[in-house]
Amino acid sequence: QVQLVQSGAEVKKPGASVKVSCKASGYTLNIHGITWVRQAPGQGLEWMAWISAYNGNTNYAQRFRGRVTMTTDTSTSTAYMELRSLRSDDTAVYYCARATSHALDIWGQGTMVTVSS
């Protein structure tokens, strides 16, 4: 079936970087985009960025511009999101989601990233 499987939990120190992977199965990655959304503990959903897996076009929320890089590898059907210069308020669950022309219809299970000294 169509699913997105994300990499496991990470613990990082302030100032470090983290790279989260999102492997697609059951469909061809480059047909749709991938959106990244995060959720801080006890908080709501925050839209971070989108990448077209077809041509690599991207769009970012202003607060993440310059600190986030998204890539896709169609040979392995995997999308990646790297967040740099981590701060304690980056502690959150990070989700990837398939972005069709209508909505975010398939979500990964989430990756917990903890930033702590």
Contacts with another protein, residue ranges (CB under 8 A): 35, 37, 44-47, 50, 59-62, 95, 97, 102-105, 107-110
Q: Shortest gap between Cβ of 34 and another protein (angstroms)?
A: 13
Query: Which residue lies nearer to another protein by CB, 23 or 108?
Result: 108
Give the H or E element holding residue 92.
Answer: strand 92-99
Query: Which residue lies nearer to another protein by CB, 38 or 78?
Result: 38
Q: Shortest gap between Cβ of 16 and another protein (angstroms)?
A: 25
Query: Which residue lies nearer to another protein by CB, 44 or 75?
Result: 44
User: Which amino acid does the sequence have at 79?
Assistant: A
Cα dihedral sign for 25, 40, 8, 52? Answer: positive
Query: Which residue lies nearer to another protein by CB, 79 or 104?
Result: 104
Kindly report each contact of residues 65-68 with a partner whose C-beta sits within 8 Å and lies 24 or more positions away, as own/partner.
Answer: 68/36
Tokens read off for 34: 């991938």
Q: Shortest gap between Cβ of 15 and another protein (angstroms)?
A: 26
Q: Shortest gap between Cβ of 38 and another protein (angstroms)?
A: 11
